[in-house]
C-alpha cells in the first residue's frame, strides 16, 4: 500500500535536510489562488499574511503568471554583461510609475537595502564631502531591513545579531517616531549621510508612527543636507491603502497622484516583495540621477538583477495594482477591518489594541512577549481556516491579499473574533 505523505512527513524532511532558521506555523501548503491557500491534505485557508505582504495581488494571479510563462519561454537571463530587450522598458515603466528618474534592479529586499546604503554613503563622500570612512546613517530602534551582515549590525533584535559579529560601524540608532531625537543627532553629528526608515514598522508589530513623523523627518533631512531613505519593501505597492506608505492617508481614486497635502517624497525609495506579486524575486532602488549617478560600472551589480523574467513579471504586477484598483480596495477594507476589530477590543480582555493602515494591521495580545498565547491563537486560527503568524511574541500581524472582497473579509473577521473569544478568561 502506497504511503500517504502527511504534513508531518514534509515537516520532518525539512527539519532533516534544511537549516533551522525559521519557526513556521505547522501547515504544509501546496496550492494558492487569490486569497486562498490549500494544504497537502486539501484543507482550504484564508491567507492573512500574504507572504509578509509579497502577495498583494493574490496568489497565482493569472495575468502575472502568464507574463512569467511567456517570458520563460523566450529569454530568462542574460546577466548585465549584455543588454536585453526588457530591462529598459521595465526601468522606464517603474520610474514613471513612482516618479523617479533612475532604477537600480535587484532581487531581494535585503539586497536592495544594501544597495541603497552604498548609494547613500557614496553620495555622502563624493557630493556632500564627508571625510572618507566617516559617513554615518541614522536608523530606528526595532527596525527590520533584512538579515545581511551589514543590516544586522544596526538591528535591535538580539537574536539577529548575537554571535554574528564583528558588526559594521557607521550607524546611529534613535527611537522610532521620535522627531526630537532625529533632530538632536542631526545637530550634533556633522557626518550624517542619510536617515533609513520604515514609514510603518511591519516586523515590529505594525507600529504606525504619528501622521507627521515622516513629513517632519523630510524637512529635517532637507535642512541638514541628509538623504531620506524609505524602506517600503513591506509597506509599498498598495498595502497601506496608498500606493506607498509615504503617501500618508491619501484619497487617490485611481493611480497615485502624490497629493501635496499627504505625500512625502524620499530621496531613495526601496521596493521589493509585492513589486512582483510574490511570483518571482524582484526588488528595486529608485532615486533621481544626481544620486544614482554616483554608482559607476564595476562598483555594484547583480547577475540576476534586471533579468527579463523579473522585468516582465514586475511590470504586469504593477499593472494589476493599478487596473484592479487594489490600493483603493485596501484602504476601504482596512478601515472596515479596524472598525470591526475596535468594536471587539472594547469588549475583549484578550486583545488590548488594534493598529495599522490599509490592509497592514496587527492586534496586541494581552500577555507578555515571552508567552505562548499569540502563537496558540495562531494555531487555533489555522484550525479554523485562517493563516496568520505572531511577531514580537504577543503581536499578531494581519495582512491579507489586496484582492480580498468585503464578504471574504467579514468571514475572516468572524473567524478571528470567534477564535479570540475562545481565549478569553473563563468567568467564575
Task: Give me the CATH number covering residue 147.
Answer: 3.40.640.10
Each residue's pLDDT tens digit, 65-118: 999 999 999 999 999 999 999 999 999 999 999 999 999 999 999 999 999 999
Beta-sheet pairing, 44-47 with 36-39: antiparallel
The rounded distance, in Å, linking the Cα atoms of 343 and 302 is: 49
Classify residue 426: in a domain, yes or no: no
Classify residue 428: in a domain, yes or no: no
Q: Are 133 and 93 within one domain? A: yes
Q: Are 195 and 212 within one domain? A: yes
DSSP secondary structure, 338-390, as one string: HHHHHHHHHH-SSEEEEEEETTEEEEEESS-TTSSHHHHHHHHHHHTTEE-EE
pLDDT for residue 1 is more than 60: no
Q: In this structure, what CATH number is given to the domain that contains residue 365?
A: 3.90.1150.10
Q: Are 116 and 216 within one domain? A: yes
> For residue 82, what is the DSSP state?
S
* Collapsed DSSP state (helix, strand, coil) of residue 398: strand
Q: How many domains does the chain have?
A: 2
pLDDT for residue 428 is more than 80: no
Expressed as residue numbers, the domain containing 170 is 62-323
Residue where one domain finishes, among candidates 323, 341, 366:
323
The rounded distance, in Å, linking the Cα atoms of 286 and 219 is: 20
pLDDT for residue 209 is more than 70: yes
Classify residue 49: in a domain, yes or no: yes
Contact status, residue 61 vs residue 247, Cβ threshold 8 Å:
no
Q: Are 195 and 75 within one domain? A: yes
Classify residue 118: in a domain, yes or no: yes
Residue where one domain finishes, among candidates 284, 304, 323:
323
The rounded distance, in Å, linking the Cα atoms of 240 and 226 is: 26
The rounded distance, in Å, linking the Cα atoms of 212 and 230 is: 15
Residues in the chain: 428
Residue where one domain finishes, among candidates 301, 323, 345:
323
**Mean pLDDT, residues 258-269 taken together:** 96
Beta-sheet pairing, 351-357 with 283-287: unpaired
What does the block give as the cell for 157? 533584535
Classify residue 371: in a domain, yes or no: yes
Q: Are 95 and 212 within one domain? A: yes
**Mean pLDDT, residues 220-238 taken together:** 98
Q: Are 316 and 354 within one domain? A: no
Predicted structure pTM score: 0.96
pLDDT for 8 equals 86
Contact status, residue 274 vs residue 57, Cβ threshold 8 Å:
yes
pLDDT for 244 equals 98
Q: Are 49 and 165 within one domain? A: no
**Mean pLDDT, residues 303-308 taken together:** 96
Kindly report which listed range (68-77, 177-186, 379-388, 418-427) carries the lowest average pLDDT score: 418-427
pLDDT for 7 equals 86
The rounded distance, in Å, linking the Cα atoms of 95 and 315 is: 11
Measure CA of the first residue to CA of the last residue in the chain; give whole Å. 52
Each residue's pLDDT tens digit, 354-363: 999 999 999 9
Q: By C-alpha distance, which of 279, 350, 286 is closest to 317? A: 279
pLDDT for 242 equals 98
Identify how many contiguous H helices and E strands the chain contains and give both numbers: 14, 15
pLDDT for residue 426 is more than 90: no
Each residue's pLDDT tens digit, 323-332: 999 999 999 9
Contact status, residue 273 vs residue 51, Cβ threshold 8 Å:
yes
Q: Are 261 and 304 within one domain? A: yes
User: Which residues are marked as active site?
Assistant: 144, 231, 273
**Mean pLDDT, residues 167-183 taken together:** 97
The rounded distance, in Å, linking the Cα atoms of 286 and 407 is: 37
**Mean pLDDT, residues 396-411 taken together:** 98
**In DSSP terms, which residues pair with 364 in a beta bridge?**
353, 395
pLDDT for residue 427 is more than 90: no
Contact status, residue 400 vs residue 35, Cβ threshold 8 Å:
yes
CB contact set of 394 (below 8 Å; sequence gap of 6+): 364, 365, 366, 367, 368, 369, 371, 373, 374
Q: In angstroms, how far is CA 350 from the centroid of its own chain?
A: 27
pLDDT for residue 5 is more than 90: no
pLDDT for 302 equals 95
Which helix or strand (DSSP H or E) is residue 5 part of? none
Q: Are 343 and 265 within one domain? A: no
Classify residue 427: in a domain, yes or no: no
Q: Per-residue confidence at 410, pLDDT binned at 50, 70, 90?
A: very high
Q: Give the Å distances, CA to CA, from 401 to 51, 149, 160, 239, 358.
A: 9, 31, 28, 9, 11
Q: Per-residue confidence at 12, pLDDT binned at 50, 70, 90?
A: confident
Q: Are 288 and 404 within one domain? A: no
Classify residue 13: in a domain, yes or no: yes
**Mean pLDDT, residues 36-41 taken together:** 97
Each residue's pLDDT tens digit, 105-158: 999 999 999 999 999 999 999 999 999 999 999 999 999 999 999 999 999 988
**Mean pLDDT, residues 223-250 taken together:** 97
Q: Are 53 and 150 within one domain? A: no
The rounded distance, in Å, linking the Cα atoms of 232 and 56 is: 13
DSSP secondary structure, 224-256, as one string: TT-EEEEE-TTTTTTTTSSSSGGG-S---SSS-
Classify residue 165: in a domain, yes or no: yes
pLDDT for 3 equals 55
Q: Are 207 and 300 within one domain? A: yes
10 Å CB burial of residue 131 (0-12, 13-18, 19+) is: exposed
The rounded distance, in Å, linking the Cα atoms of 376 and 261 is: 43
Q: Per-residue confidence at 2, pLDDT binned at 50, 70, 90?
A: very low
Q: Give the Å distances, CA to CA, from 329 to 57, 239, 321, 332.
A: 11, 10, 10, 5
The rounded distance, in Å, linking the Cα atoms of 337 and 222 is: 37
pLDDT for residue 254 is more than 50: yes
Helices 62-72 & 308-323 angle (0-180, nearest 10): 160
At CA 105, angle to CA 102 and CA 109, rounded to 5? 115
pLDDT for 45 equals 98
What does the block give as the cell for 178? 521620535
Amino acid at each position: 500500500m502506497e504511503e500517504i505523505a502527511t504534513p508531518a512527513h514534509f515537516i520532518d524532511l525539512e527539519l532533516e535536510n534544511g537549516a533551522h532558521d525559521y519557526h513556521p506555523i505547522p501547515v504544509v501548503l501546496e496550492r494558492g489562488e487569490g486569497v486562498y491557500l490549500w494544504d497537502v491534505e486539501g484543507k482550504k485557508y484564508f491567507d492573512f499574511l500574504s507572504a509578509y505582504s509579497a502577495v498583494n495581488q493574490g496568489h497565482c494571479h493569472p495575468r502575472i503568471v502568464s507574463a512569467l510563462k511567456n517570458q520563460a519561454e523566450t529569454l530568462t537571463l542574460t546577466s548585465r554583461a549584455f543588454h536585453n530587450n526588457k530591462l529598459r522598458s521595465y526601468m522606464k515603466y517603474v520610474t514613471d510609475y513612482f516618479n523617479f528618474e533612475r532604477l537600480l534592479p535587484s532581487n531581494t529586499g535585503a539586497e536592495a537595502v544594501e544597495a541603497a546604503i552604498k548609494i547613500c554613503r557614496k553620495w555622502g563622500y563624493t557630493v556632500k564631502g564627508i571625510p572618507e570612512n566617516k559617513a554615518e546613517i541614522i536608523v530606528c530602534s526595532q527596525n527590520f531591513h533584512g538579515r545581511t551582515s551589514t543590516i544586522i549590525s544596526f538591528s535591535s533584535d538580539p537574536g539577529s545579531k548575537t554571535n554574528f559579529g564583528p558588526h559594521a560601524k557607521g550607524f546611529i540608532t534613535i527611537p522610532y517616531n521620535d522627531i526630537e531625537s532625529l533632530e538632536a543627532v542631526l545637530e550634533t553629528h556633522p557626518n550624517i549621510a542619510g536617515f533609513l526608515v520604515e514609514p510603518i514598522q511591519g516586523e515590529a508589530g505594525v507600529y504606525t508612527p504619528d501622521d507627521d513623523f515622516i513629513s517632519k523627518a523630510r524637512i529635517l533631512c532637507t535642512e541638514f543636507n541628509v538623504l531620506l531613505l524609505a524602506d517600503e519593501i513591506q509597506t509599498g505597492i498598495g498595502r497601506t491603502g496608498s500606493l506607498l506608505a509615504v503617501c500618508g492617508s491619501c484619497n487617490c481614486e485611481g493611480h497615485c497622484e502624490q497629493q501635496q497635502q499627504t505625500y512625502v517624497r524620499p530621496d531613495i525609495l526601496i521596493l521589493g516583495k509585492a513589486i512582483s506579486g510574490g511570483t518571482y524575486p524582484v526588488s528595486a532602488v529608485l532615486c533621481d540621477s544626481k544620486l544614482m549617478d554616483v554608482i559607476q560600472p564595476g562598483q555594484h551589480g547583480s547577475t540576476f538583477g534586471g533579468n527579463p523574467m523579473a522585468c516582465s513579471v514586475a511590470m504586469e504586477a504593477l499593472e494589476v495594482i493599478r487596473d484592479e484598483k487594489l490600493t483603493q480596495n485596501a484602504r476601504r477594507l482596512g478601515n472596515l477591518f479596524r472598525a470591526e476589530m475596535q468594536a471587539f477590543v472594547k469588549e475583549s480582555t484578550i486583545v488590548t489594541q488594534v493598529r495599522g493602515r490599509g490592509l497592514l494591521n496587527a492586534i496586541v495580545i494581552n500577555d507578555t512577549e515571552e508567552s505562548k498565547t499569540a502563537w496558540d491563537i495562531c494555531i487555533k486560527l489555522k484550525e479554523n481556516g485562517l493563516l496568520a503568524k505572531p511577531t514580537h511574541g504577543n503581536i499578531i500581524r494581519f495582512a491579507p491579499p489586496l484582492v480580498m472582497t468585503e464578504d471574504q473579509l467579514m468571514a475572516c473577521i468572524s473567524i478571528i473574533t470567534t477564535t479570540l473569544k475562545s481565549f478569553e478568561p473563563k468567568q467564575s
